């Protein structure tokens, strides 16, 4: 549709300019002829007229081509503007999602703080769990248990620490564990008295504890 409109406009402009030019040249010829003696060199010839028309037509074509280029550039600019608008919309949506994630992260942090603050109650030298809790014993540290504390070693190498003549009860295998013995994974242990019974962590140890404990 746009191309057809341009083609008709170009034809109309060419025709109009040709008419105006013809009228102008003829008028000039008449004036020139009337003011001088009739001479073949003074008359406007058809060749001169055609040359002027061709030059003017070339000039018009160049101008129309320049106009076409400007229109195309304008269309490209409009397309780029649309792309930029889309990108801005996407950035706005991503910013909204980031704010939602920040809010969720803050809520999770608050919940973790609540859990941490309620995970153990300190009484004297011992911290007492609220039910069964997972405790990390760092490498080379020793954990000692209060009386009637239950524990299960889940991860890491743990060597029993027991005073002379005492034991840790292995309820899973129904036997007593003396000092300097490696505690087995997933065995259910019970400490009968609070007299320094526990274990030393050879590497990081994760243990489930129900009762009182202290790490030193």
Q: What is the pLDDT of residues 79-136, one digit of tens each?
A: 666 777 777 777 777 777 888 877 887 777 776 666 555 556 777 789 999 899 999 9
Residue of 82, 32, 76, 24 whose CA lies nearest to 53: 24
Domain membership of residue 24 (yes or no) is no
Q: Of 117, 120, 116, which is closest to residue 209 (Cα–Cα)?
A: 120
Q: Are 179 and 160 in contact (CB under 8 A)?
A: yes
Inter-residue contact 153 to 185 (CB < 8 Å)? yes
In a domain, 184, yes or no: yes
Domain of residue 181, residue span:
128-215
- Would you say residue 55 lies in a domain? no
Residue 196 lies in a domain: yes
Domain-located, residue 133: yes
Residue-averaged pLDDT of the chain: 77
Q: Confidence band (pLDDT; 50, 70, 90) for 16?
A: low
Residue 194 is assigned to a structural domain of this protein = yes
Q: Identify the pLDDT of residue 95.
A: 76
- The pLDDT, as a whole number, for residue 32 is 44
CATH number of the domain within which 176 lies:
2.60.120.1030
Q: What is the pLDDT of residue 79?
A: 62
Confidence of residue 77 (pLDDT cuts 50, 70, 90): low
- Which residues contact residue 19 at a Cβ distance below 8 angstroms, ignoring those fewer than 6 apart? none
Residue 181 has pLDDT above 80, yes or no: yes
In a domain, 43, yes or no: no
| Prediction pTM value | 0.46
Report how many domains make up the chain.
1
Question: Which pLDDT band holds residue 58 (cuts at 50, 70, 90)?
Answer: confident
Tens digit of pLDDT for each residue in 19-42?
445 545 444 444 444 444 444 444
Query: Is the residue at 4 inside a domain?
Result: no
Residue-wise burial string across 25-37, b where 16 or more C-beta atoms lie within 10 A, e elsewhere: eeeebeeeeeeee
């Amino acid at each position: 549709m746009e191309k057809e409109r341009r083609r008709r406009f170009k034809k109309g402009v060419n025709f109009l300019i040709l008419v105006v030019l013809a009228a102008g040249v003829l008028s000039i010829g008449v004036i020139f002829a009337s003011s001088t003696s009739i001479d073949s060199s003074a008359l406007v010839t058809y060749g001169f007229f055609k040359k002027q028309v061709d030059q003017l037509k070339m000039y018009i074509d160049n101008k129309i081509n320049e106009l076409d280029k400007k229109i195309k550039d304008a269309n490209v600019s409009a397309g780029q503007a649309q792309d930029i608008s889309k990108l801005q919309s996407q950035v706005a949506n991503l910013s909204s999602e980031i704010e939602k994630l920040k809010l969720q992260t803050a809520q999770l942090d608050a919940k973790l703080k609540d859990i941490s603050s309620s995970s153990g109650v300190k009484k004297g030298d011992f911290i007492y769990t609220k039910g069964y809790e997972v405790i990390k014993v760092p490498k080379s540290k020793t954990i000692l248990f209060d009386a009637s504390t239950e524990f299960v070693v889940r991860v890491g190498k743990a060597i029993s620490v027991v005073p002379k003549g005492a034991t840790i009860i292995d309820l899973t295998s129904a036997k007593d564990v003396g000092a300097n013995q490696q505690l087995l994974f997933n065995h259910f242990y019970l400490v009968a008295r609070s007299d320094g019974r526990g274990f030393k962590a050879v590497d990081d140890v994760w243990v489930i504890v129900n009762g009182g404990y202290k790490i030193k």
